[in-house]
Structure 1
């Protein structure tokens, strides 16, 4: 038996945060029903590249789910949705605040149909405040939260983070909040609303910056503190072949190991004084320029130095560690043939995740669920 078997989730979300959250629930056994707009459905269905007529984005984010089409603007559609709420445990939605109330299918209405229902809303800025109804994307949330100002090199312009940090972390936060609410409903019979703001989640992703500011008034920005490039022992260096390695020797023991591997015992204790870090960074750059990235990887293997090659995505997918952790799945599908997608990050010994069903075609489960 799968851990979340018996939990029914109605997924009205689109694109990334909501669908990723519900995919995690589906991977562990929840029945996730995508409720999509007739004709178009989740916008991600049309994102290239494609495998036949399936967008890979859709394939990656909507495995193990079912799909039905409902027009929530119609009386018939609203009635069909509320009928499903009667047997559901969770609703996940990503409309702007207030939209579901206008449609007549918000938590206040649904909770009268099913007092145990849990409504998880994912929005950019939450349900209150001056930006509550403002449209935005990940770059906006992390910029307003202060993350972008800490990304990039000192003296340069802020850098766009390489992943959708607010989106992905909000997905995880939503999943945890849903599990907490399910536990509460199990104990009390009461459902509740969950408000997940991507901006709020981005704000909580910086405990280090918060500690510096609340404790001393220091404002963390790119290149001015130990986690954003100010320190030589936590930085990026170019190699002989113009590739890069990351150095993460925060602890003295790892720094000592690196200095010994470089035959630079003179640098071991210099790291203790921040005034020496510009010199140490210069020396490390000279050292790492002596070998290629591959040569450094081989030379430092097993030496416990916290030095890691900076790989591109293709290299990361092919890495031995990725293969060992089964983080790329090969899917065999009768219609689409073989394709790949990312694996399961959460490894549970008794109730593991599983891939049981390909991402659905738009409305392919209408007959089963709606009887039409």
Structure 2
């Protein structure tokens, strides 16, 4: 199969998680992604534990299928090299705070003057405008300001620090990819590029899909454990006798009836169908008692053959071995470059014709510098000269 994004060539100036996850998806779908890295300021993701074969597992995954060019962007010769690359790489992805790329001479307006078809994607915490545009932040802060944390948690202990980065990935990465591909389609029709301003806080705010709609239209302010889907009903997780957990999402009548029948309490189903909060909470208390009568393995076996929207809470090791995830081939082997391979999460998108297999794990800083500059037409002597001047590494 010719990969669906094989025609796209992207200069990726991003580090850490949001930008690299976005360009990972693009690279998996065939885009040629060239990381522009500092030869002196290491991407902190490279040192994040745990390490496999001396390389951060997170870096090896998030930067697979990408080449690396190490440039000192503060030197004029490096700026000229980027401008030469723009003749071919007509999409830029960057994740600096507003104004940084402009100070380097690499802002949208400067690069657009070189290539009017340029698509320029900026992913930041708070966007290119507004009073917080220069403020530092992390995922937990963006979720807090976007209102999501105000109803995601427990009434007796407050908001939860989520184990995965919702604002970074669902906010910055995925919205960045959506906007980038929309810009590509627009450019095909108009011949013009654009600057896409992706704020992780903005995008996290848009994830208030149901609660936000209710508040804006009806003034209903959600709180912890007071909505049907945030712990305010039986829709929740329940502890087994041996301390494991089962997830229960039996919202529809048929599922609720099967849940209660499986637990030997068919009479409870009527409470699950009641809209009254007191009935919901009474059912929740009853389900806690019933689930704690059984060990985790027994509950897994009990619900395995029942279509009741009840599933075990698996750890990662168990998830990898689950027959559904295995059937979907969500783990792939990625070459390290030394004849061995590393197990990684596979691209989750399934096309009718398979995507090309992964080519390599995340590259070392500047691993492809000579190759990329050779493609630009630079001689071996010129490359050596730039290296002596510490423009490249």
Q: TM-score range by the shorter chain?
A: over 0.9
What corresponds to 1:154 in structure 2?
A: 155
What corresponds to 2:377 in structure 1?
A: none
Contact 2:303 2:311 in 1 (8 A): no
* Secondary structure of 2:154 counterpart: coil
TM-score if structure 1 supplies the norm length? 0.96
Distance apart, 1:332 and its partner CA:
4.2
Deviations 1:100-142 (A, max 9, x none): 1111111101111111110000000001111001011101000
Counterparts of 2:181 and 2:337, CA distance in 1? 34
What corresponds to 2:294 in structure 1?
A: 291
Structure 1 window deviating more from structure 2 (356-365 vs 157-166): it is 356-365
Distance apart, 1:344 and its partner CA:
1.3
Distance apart, 1:318 and its partner CA:
2.2
Contact 1:41 1:69 in 2 (8 A): no
Counterparts of 2:196 and 2:354, CA distance in 1? 26
Contact 2:335 2:359 in 1 (8 A): no
Report 1:31-70 matches (<5 A): 31-70=32-71
Q: State which of 207, 214, 224 in structure 2 corresponds to 1:212.
A: 214
* Secondary structure of 1:215 counterpart: helix
Counterparts of 1:353 and 1:269, CA distance in 2? 51
Distance apart, 1:323 and its partner CA:
1.3
Deviations 1:250-286 (A, max 9, x none): 1122111112222322112222132211211111011
Counterparts of 2:364 and 2:4, CA distance in 1? 26
What corresponds to 1:142 in structure 2?
A: 143
Q: Does 1:316 align with 2:325?
A: no
Q: State which of 191, 194, 215 in structure 2 corresponds to 1:192.
A: 194
Deviations 1:152-206 (A, max 9, x none): 2222221111210001112011111111101111111100000110001110111
What corresponds to 2:180 in structure 1?
A: 178
Report 1:1-372 matches (<5 A): 1-169=2-170, 170-232=172-234, 234-271=235-272, 272-274=274-276, 275-335=278-338, 337-350=340-353, 352=355, 354-371=357-374, 372=383
What corresponds to 2:386 in structure 1?
A: none
Counterparts of 2:356 and 2:328, CA distance in 1? 13
Counterparts of 1:132 and 1:197, CA distance in 2? 9
Deviations 1:278-312 (A, max 9, x none): 21111101110111112111111121111111112
Counterparts of 1:338 and 1:262, CA distance in 2? 45
Cα gap change, 1:318 to 1:40, in 2 (>3 Å): farther
Number of residue equivalences: 371
Cα gap change, 1:326 to 1:215, in 2 (>3 Å): same
Distance apart, 1:43 and its partner CA:
2.2
**CA-based RMSD:** 1.4
Contact 1:244 1:310 in 2 (8 A): yes
Structure 2 residue runs without a partner (length 5+):
375-382, 384-393
TM-score if structure 2 supplies the norm length? 0.91
Distance apart, 1:37 and its partner CA:
0.3
